[in-house]
Amino acid sequence: MFSPSFVGVGVIGILLGSVCLMSQRKSLFGVLLSLEVFTLGVYIILFSVFDSLASVCLVFLTFGVCEAAMGLGVLVSLMRSFGGDYVGSLVCGHF
């Protein structure tokens, strides 16, 4: 069943995640958190619109969890290699 209140919450989540993603310039952890808020907003919209198709929501949630796990792995790797998650230290050509 289509629920406009959940769709509104999802749209607010997408907008909040997008604004936070565009405003992050220093920390990779902040970028990963804003991507998770964005993914959660999309999931809320999918779940409220496709309530009868639970398999679509489950597949999307699975991809969201995989994205979070890969992001966390990259974050841990960068912390071990460079000592911090600052984006400025990555762009300087230390690779």
The count of domains in the chain is: 1
What tens digit of pLDDT does each residue of 13-72 get? 899 988 988 887 778 888 888 888 998 898 888 888 877 777 888 888 899 899 889 988
For residue 47, what are the domain limits?
Answer: 4-91
- What residues does 86 pair with on adjacent strands? 27
What pLDDT was estimated at residue 66? 92
Q: What is d(CA 58, CA 56) in angstroms, rounded to the nearest whole number?
A: 5
Contact status, residue 13 vs residue 44, Cβ threshold 8 Å: yes
11 or 85: which leads in pLDDT: 11
Specify the CATH number for the domain of residue 57: 1.10.287.3510
* Chain position carrying tokens 């990555």: 90
User: Greater confidence, 90 or 49?
Assistant: 49
Does the predicted model carry a pTM greater than 0.85? no
